A and B are shown apart, each in its own frame.
Chain A
Amino acid sequence: MQISARRHDKTTIFDVSGDIDFANSPEVRQAVLCEIRESRMARVIVNLRQVRYIDSSGVASLIEGLKASRDLGSRFILIGLSTSAREVLQLSRLIKVFEIYDNEEQALAA
């Protein structure tokens, strides 16, 4: 799993690739939470286009990111969900809880 961040206007975009599972979800959690709390950007976008698998600990990290964003009044957006990632959010009844777009252009325009 790899995670990198870039900034665009008042937005931080995380590009994640590989599987997110119990072995590496703490890394995702830490990166996302640090950025939300320290940079105070208006928007945080997590690009999951290159993520083929996400387990419950990965979903938990995204929930923590969402909650931290809400606490600070910023937006937390997911883009590029794979079939598998979409399935787990649906199974967990979270698909309507997150702000989700197909791609970066849509998320930046929203």
Chain B
Amino acid sequence: MLAVYSNPRWLSVVRAAVERLTETLGFPAMQCRSITRAVDEALTNIVRHCYGNRLDQPIALYFRSAKRCQQGEIESGLEILLCDRGRAFNLNTLLGRPLEQIRPGGLGLHWIRQAMDTVEFTRKGLTNQLRLVKYFARTSIAP
């Protein structure tokens, strides 16, 4: 678990931690970069939209293993839960801008969705929870 404040100077600290974690878990280099990018963009969204750029608000990140069974095969992966107590900011309903439009803004959501297998937002009481999951390549179940 990582607990940080909503000050953007923490972004580089979290990126370094996520990059090392994904490397240690054995994700390919490209996925290490894309997962790190997704977490960074999600954190930035929390700072900007949930906390309105206030610098002293709490953000917690939880990391745990994830498993799912699909078509008889077990997939394991990494689940990252980002929790904040700011305004509700529902990523599920946001689209990001069309990539055909060349203008600033709206790219972060695309990067998050492109990087992760699961992107789920829930609001529990006063807490926003963003659940990001990335699975490894499949391994067959032994008969």
With known contacts A23-B12, A84-B33, A91-B111, A55–B41 Cβ distance under 8 A = yes
In the bound complex, do residue A56 and residue B41 qualify as a contact, i.e. CB atoms below 8 Å apart?
A: yes
**B108 interface residue (CB < 8 Å to A):** yes
Question: Taking the nearest CB of chain A, how far is it from the CB of B112, in angstroms?
Answer: 10
In the complex with contacts A23-B9, A53-B15, A61-B104, A92-B44 CB distance below 8 A: no
Q: Which of A22, A59, A61 contacts B8 (CB 8 A)?
A: A22
Interface residues on B, range: 20 to 34
Q: A55, B44: Cβ atoms under 8 Å?
A: yes
Counting chain A residues whose Cβ lies within 8 A of the other chain, the interface size class is: 20 to 34
Taking CB atoms, residues of chain A closer than 8 Å to B84 are none
Stretch at the interface among B62-70, B95-103, B116-124, B134-142: B95-103
For chain B, what secondary structure do more than half of its interface residues adopt (helix, strand, loop), or is it mixed? helix
B111 pairs with A56, CB closer than 8 A: yes
Number of A-B contacts (CB under 8 A): 64
- Whether B33 and A87, one on each chain, are in contact in the complex, defined by CB atoms closer than 8 angstroms, is yes
Contact string against B for A residues 5-47, beta-carbon threshold 8 Å, 1 for contact and 0 otherwise: 0000000000000010111000000000000000000000000
A56, B48: Cβ atoms closer than 8 Å: no
Q: Is B4 an interface residue (CB 8 A)?
A: no
B40→A55 contact, CB < 8 A: yes
**A63–B11 contact, CB under 8 A?**
no
| A residues in contact with B44, CB < 8 Å | 21-22, 55-57
Given contacts A23-B8, A57-B44, A63-B104, contact A87 B30 (CB under 8 A): yes
Residue of B nearest to A98 (CB): B102
Give B79 Cβ to nearest chain A Cβ, in Å: 22
Of A53, A87, A93, the most chain B CB neighbours within 10 A belong to: A53
Interface presence of A72 (CB below 8 A): no
Task: Tell whether A108 is near chain B: CB-to-CB under 8 Å.
Answer: no
Across the interface, do A60 and B30 meet the contact criterion of CB distance under 8 Å? no
Question: Can you offer 27 A-B residue contacts whose CB atoms are under 8 A?
Answer: A19-B12, A21-B8, A21-B11, A21-B15, A21-B44, A22-B44, A23-B11, A53-B15, A55-B37, A56-B41, A56-B44, A56-B105, A56-B107, A56-B108, A60-B104, A61-B104, A63-B102, A63-B103, A67-B103, A83-B33, A84-B33, A84-B37, A87-B30, A87-B33, A87-B34, A91-B110, A93-B100
Is B47 among interface residues, defined by CB-CB distance under 8 A? yes
